[in-house]
Amino acid sequence: MNENQAKDILRKNFRLFMWQERLKQKEIAEDLGLTAATVSNFANGKTGVHSDYLVKISQKYNVSIDWLLLNKGEMYLPKEKLCA
């Protein structure tokens, strides 16, 4: 998988996650302490998501990092694998 394919998977999955959760970019930005422009860049595939923010997204919303980045497995983590 090349860099453009990886960004495309992340962009599509991040947008699907936002739609599934009915979240606006502004809400995610506020929840994670980011600017709306930064979240917009994630959602539009302009930039990747720093690993620290992937962990925060996973913890806050119970979303699988493997699913976000690689499209592997399910969108949501099983309850026994939730981060504390």
pLDDT above 70 for 24: yes
- With bands split at pLDDT 50, 70 and 90, how would you rate the model's confidence at 4? confident
Domain ranges of the chain: 3-81
Per-residue confidence (pLDDT) for residue 81, from 0 to 100: 54
41-75 pLDDT tens trace? 989 988 888 899 999 999 999 999 999 999 999 99
Are 37 and 76 within 8 A, CB to CB? no
Backbone φ and ψ of 63, nearest 5°? -100, 140
- Spatial CB neighbours of 53, under 8 Å, sequence gap ≥ 6: 32, 34, 42
- Kindly indicate whether the domain formed by 3-81 is annotated with CATH number 1.10.260.40: yes
